[in-house]
Structure 1
Amino acid sequence: MNVRRAAAVLAAAAVLGAGGAPAAFADDPAPAASPSEPPEIPAGLHGSTDPTYDGVWRQSLTLLAQDSARVKPSAEAVGWLTGQQCADGSFAAFRPDPSKACDPKTMVDSNSTAAAVQALAALGGHDDVVGKAVDWLLSVQNKDGGWGYNPGTPSDANSTSVVVGALAAAGQKPAEAVKGGKSPLDALLTFALPCEGKDAGAFAYQPDKSGKLLANADATAAAVLGSLGAGLGGEKTKPAGSAAKCAEAKTPEQAAENGAAYLAGPLTDDGHLTSALPGADPQPDLGNTADAVIALASTGHADQAEKALGHLRDNGTAWAKQTGPAAYAQLVLAARAMGADPRDFGGQDLVELLNATGPAPQAAEAEDAAEPGRKADAGLSPAVWWAGGAVLVLLAAAAVLLTVRKRRP
């Protein structure tokens, strides 16, 4: 998601002047404050960089990743996120003083709101906050069935996808969220490129000024999940047994398959996606790579993401250390989607590294106990094994003692 975020930050003044707000992305560091005005990080918020553009987003991803790793987040961290909600149910990227009521100048947006919904729905126990946020999202849905970043702005693939994930997380059926006769899944299909040329199967962020669709890897990774009705962490699915192939996208599921086929190319060839910001040399884009890994795993093509997962193992923690908690969260979610252990990822414990970016979590649940239906074949605690071993030692000692006594004259 970093290409669009960088562009938004560069154009922030112009966008704000037009009544919009720069987009917040998970894998980029927030714009640094000047040395004379160091950012004030609120208690409960994860990360140490200026939260102006990504406070709610990075907190939501952090809580979502912690929950996926069976960690119970800090009550303070959860309270910070719920406290960011406006009275109408919406969220802004960051409200420095939540005690002040939101007003028309508060730059609320669909991405922050939808991310918060996904995190709080996963944690459970926040039905009122989630319900109000979903109601607000539905109230600002565009007539084409999609969402833009800010209310009233044209729909885009990324915003529509993250809202789809929020609706699904809240127990709603995205296909039934209809506005103007169109659902968000209909809207996503309008961003899908046909199966022809080098960009076959990709999604565009939005049509350009001439109405042309230009392939965007960030939008593609997001739209694959949106087309599946999945959230930011993806969804578990059975292996497809074959490589992703592009075909006419008559259904959202086929559009997701097409997007997976587009992403699989660079992931299997290079092991990563590449970004090329204006004025900068092309370089591996680890944030979008993590998202693409989740997208491929969610379509059943995890085998085509193995090389990319290896690249993330080798380079991800250094990137996340520089970038912040949302980057650690992306790595955790990517590892989980691929069936890898985020607590042993390239020799690093991603979960502990993520936890260390903010208030300490309450507890970590046992993996087997947290997943009903899983057999506890390897789930005995060390205490149980120790007690069992102690009993065996005592029995062996008793047997030896009886043997010795029997041999006495």
Structure 2
Amino acid sequence: MHVRRSAAVLAATVVIGTAAPAVAASPSPVPVPSGLYGSTDPTYDGVWRQSLALIALHRVGVGPAAAAVGWLAGQQCASGAFAAYRADPAKACDAKVMVDTNSTAAAVQALSALGGHDPAVSKAVTWLKSVQNKDGGWGYTPGGASDANSTSVVIGALNATGADPAEVLKDGKSPYEALLKLSLPCADGGAFAYQPDKKGRLTANADATAAAVVGALGLGMASAKPGTATDLTCADAARPTPEQAAANGAAYLARTVAKEGYLKSVLPGAEDQPDYGNTADAVVALAARGGTAAAAGPLHWLERNSAKWAEQSGPAAYAQLILAARVGGADPRDFGGTDLVKQLTATGPTPAPAPTPTPAAKSQDDSGTSVWWMVGAGLAAGAGIGFLLSNRNKRKQP
């Protein structure tokens, strides 16, 4: 997760699964709408953090408040696109409103996951397709050069709507082809670059790699899941598949986090400073490609060290950690002793009440034992077995 230094820098660095910069929570100079998660200035990240919060809550089975969903849906422009934040959504979007692919794709993933917003989602996807670059990818703003991060978050949006990213073509090229052009050979680490530099050279970027691994697998924030357990090795090919490029990128991430257990900040003068947000993204990428065991190291590091960062950074940080926990195989409600779900919901409107179970006809066996009691007993036994396995696994870890 890159720290925001300006709107332009944010535009160049927003990534799939990442949150707003890690800044101490302080009163916002901009009035924060009641339906929005977080209390800090939403100018540059309102739609992004709201989308992440809604996706994370959906993934743990928490129904968000109608006001929270309504706020996000109300940010959409008539074109279908979303900007980072619109203070007055009743005012029509004009040329001065800077819409972007990342906010739009994140909102698509959130609204698709929640359901009931098909027209809005369809318009947003139509807009995203209309600004696809000739190389098959997307930049942060319409017409901007394709980058690994923006292309990946749009792939996540396409996946969320049931579309096959391989079939979303511009001049015969798909988003996967754009990502493959940004993948490095194994001799250079197997990572992904964010974009080519001015001389067309590619430089490994852990932030972009975490995003691109998930994107190359055709997944997004709402759909990332643990992959099959496998050794992560880099293997070159004359024509690598997206899956192989994802494996190469995951192998790069595994090597990068092996020593300290986290990704380091890329900011000048912060060489030894952990980057919590990008580490959370790496957990998702590693687990999605190599299974939960591949993500265990950085996931456990986050469990031990991320609480203060998340408290300072707010809702998107909590959402990132929830996604990392869900995909990495940890409990978001007991993440290093922190209930991430409770912490996230505390930053926004009270979630919708859980639906009251419909009374079912009591079914009993011949001995008069309730079937529901038997199910509960089975769940309790399963929980006990899980507890024993968890403790055994913890004892095995160095």
- TM-score band w.r.t. shorter chain: 0.7 to 0.9
* 1:234 shift after superposition: 5.1
The answer for the alignment partner of 2:257 in structure 1 is 267
CA contact (8 A) 1:55 1:93 kept: yes
Matched, 1:363 2:369: no
Give the Å deviation of 1:102: 0.2
Offset at residue 316 of structure 1 (A): 1.5
Does structure 1 residue 56 correspond to structure 2 residue 47? yes
Residue 205 of structure 2 corresponds to residue 223 of structure 1? no
Task: Note if contact 1:121-1:169 (Cα within 8 Å) is conserved in structure 2.
Answer: yes
Quote the Cα distance in structure 2 between the aligned partners of 1:336 and 1:317.
17
8 Å CA contact 1:32–1:50 kept in 2: the answer is no
Q: Structure 1: how far apart are the matches of 2:312 and 2:342? A: 16
1:121 — aligned with what? 112
Over 3 Å counting, the alpha-carbon distance change for 1:191 and 1:281 in structure 2 is closer
Aligned counterparts of 1:137 and 1:21: Cα–Cα separation in 2: 16
Report the CA distance between 1:237 and its aligned residue. 4.1
Compute the displacement of 1:32 (Å). Answer: 8.6
* 1:17-61 residue CA offsets vs partner (Å, 9 max, x unmatched): xxx9565463333889998x7231111000011001100000000
Task: Report the equivalent of 1:337.
Answer: 327
Q: Could you say which residue in structure 2 is the equivalent of 1:203?
A: 192
Matched AA of 2:130 = S
Aligned partner (choices 25, 28, 31) of residue 20 of structure 2: 28
Q: CA deviation at 1:104?
A: 1.0
Q: Take 1:193 and 1:140, find their aligned partners in 2: how far apart are those partners?
A: 26
Tell me whether 343-352 or 107-116 shows the greater mean CA deviation. 343-352
Structure 1 position 258 matched with structure 2 position 237:
no
Relative distance call for 1:336 and 1:34 in structure 2 (3 A) is closer
Query: What do the CA deviations read for 1:251-299 (whole angstroms, capped 9, x no partner)?
Result: 0000000000000012222110001312445301110000000001111
- Match of 2:110, SS state, is helix
* Matching residue's letter, 1:71: V
Q: What CA distance in whole angstroms lies between the structure 2 residues aligned with 1:39 and 1:30?
A: 18
Question: How many angstroms apart in 2 are the aligned matches of 1:104 and 1:250?
Answer: 40
The 3-state SS of whatever aligns with 1:196 is helix
Contact 2:186 2:234 in 1 (8 A): no
Give the match for residue 62 of structure 2. Answer: 71
| 2:280 corresponds to | 290
> For 2:172, what is the secondary structure of its paired residue?
coil
Residue 405 of structure 1 is matched in structure 2 by: none
Q: Secondary structure at the match of 2:195?
A: strand
1:80 aligned residue = 71
TM-score, reference length from structure 1: 0.83
| Runs of 4+ residues deviating >4 angstroms | 20-25, 30-35, 376-379
Corresponding position: 1:154 with 2:138: no
User: Which consecutive residues of structure 2, in runs of 5 or more, have no partner in the other structure?
Assistant: 357-371, 381-398
Q: Supply the distance in 2 between the matched residues of 1:52 and 1:126 (Cα, whole angstroms).
A: 24
Whether 2:210 is the aligned partner of 1:214: answer: no
Amino acid at match of 2:251: A
Tell me what 1:313 maps to. 303
TM-score, reference length from structure 2:
0.85
**Between Structure 1 and Structure 2, which shows a larger proportion of strand residues?**
1
Which residue identity does 2:50 align to in structure 1? Answer: Q
Find the aligned partners of 2:209 and 2:373 in 1 and give their Cα distance.
Answer: 39
Corresponding residue for residue 343 of structure 2: 353
Letter in 1 for 2:241: T
CA distance in 2, matches of 1:150, 1:110: 6
TM-superposed CA distance for 1:380, in Å, is 3.4
How many Å separate the matches in 2 of 1:71 and 1:296?
A: 26
User: Does the C-alpha gap of structure 1 residues 44 and 38 become closer, same or farther in structure 2, counting only changes over 3 Å?
Assistant: same
| Residue 180 (structure 1) aligned with residue 176 (structure 2) | no
In 1, Cα distance between equivalents of 2:373 and 2:318? 30
* Structure 2 residue corresponding to 1:190, chosen from 176, 181, 185: 181
Q: 1:202 to 1:234 in 2, by over 3 A?
A: farther
Counterpart of 1:398 in structure 2 is none
- Paired with 2:353 and 2:161, the residues of 1 have a C-alpha distance of 24
Query: CA separation in 1, counterparts of 2:139 and 2:230?
Result: 36
SS at match of 2:290: coil
Matching residue of 1:369 = none
